[in-house]
Structure 1
Amino acid sequence: MSHTPRARVRFNGEQVLGRAREGALRGLLLGAEHLLAASRSEVPIDEGTLERSGATSVDDANLVAAVSYDTPYARRVHEDMSARHSPGRKAKFLEDPAHREAGTVGEIIAAQVRRSLRG
């Protein structure tokens, strides 16, 4: 008589999803901070107010992160392609890094989800 090997697997789906969500939230925050740092290196500088106004936020309920600059003129400076700026500083200081760093931000989020699932 041969015995068929048996295994019992217990899957706690809610716990796994909770850990994955925690990792995703941490990844979103770290990814947003990465993008903020990249964009700050391109923000036009006059007095530094625009650069200092940069901030990150994470919407826990919807798993969405944002990077924003909060001055009355941030949008105008971002969109004015005809303005002259110091070397390395430019319009589209958030949009361009967002496109360029999208892959890295995705990797940051994925790494945090993987890390949370190992714990």
Structure 2
Amino acid sequence: MSPQRSRLRLNGDAVLRGTRAGALRGLLLGAEHVLAESRKLVPIDEATLERSGTVSVDEQDLTAAVSYDTKYAVRQHEELGYRHAPGRSAKYLERPMTSEATTVAALIAAQLRRSLRGR
């Protein structure tokens, strides 16, 4: 019996573009997930702070950020002595960043796998 032969052609540039696109999608989905979870904890009075939450992705550096943009966002986040409505708290962004790290990693990994399959 003669040995079977096969040929594999790899287009490395296309693979890199695809994985980069998958990573960007995963970063966006992960950051949006953290934003959604943090909105469940953000101190709420008139919902101005909650509505100021946003996600941004730096395509060049492959990084994502979740931020809140009010003049008191940092103070509300850091001041542990403030009283908040039930279920709302300081560290409203830090807590989901920590507790949802596994979910965020899974979202990114899923998008990378998807990009490698070409879908």
- Shared fold, TM over 0.5: yes
Alpha-carbon distance between aligned partners in 1 of 2:44 and 2:29, rounded to the nearest angstrom: 25
CA RMSD of aligned residues (A): 0.7
Partner of 1:107: 106
1:1-119 aligned within 5 A: 2-119=1-118
Deviation at 1:91, TM superposition (A): 0.1
Unaligned 5+ residue runs, structure 2?
A: none
- Number of equivalent positions: 118
Deviation at 1:6, TM superposition (A): 1.3
Find the residue that maps to 1:57 and give its secondary structure.
Answer: strand
Runs of at least 4 residues off by over 2 Å: none
What is the TM-score normalised by the length of structure 1?
A: 0.97
Alpha-carbon distance between aligned partners in 1 of 2:29 and 2:97, rounded to the nearest angstrom: 14
What is the TM-score normalised by the length of structure 2?
A: 0.97
Deviation at 1:57, TM superposition (A): 0.2
Deviation at 1:90, TM superposition (A): 0.2
**Percent identity (aligned):** 64
Deviation at 1:86, TM superposition (A): 0.4
Alpha-carbon distance between aligned partners in 1 of 2:79 and 2:26, rounded to the nearest angstrom: 32
Alpha-carbon distance between aligned partners in 1 of 2:32 and 2:15, rounded to the nearest angstrom: 26
Deviations 1:68-99 (A, max 9, x none): 00001100000000001000000000001100
Unaligned 5+ residue runs, structure 1?
A: none
Find the residue that maps to 2:115 and give its secondary structure.
Answer: helix
The letter for the 1-side match of 2:18 is R
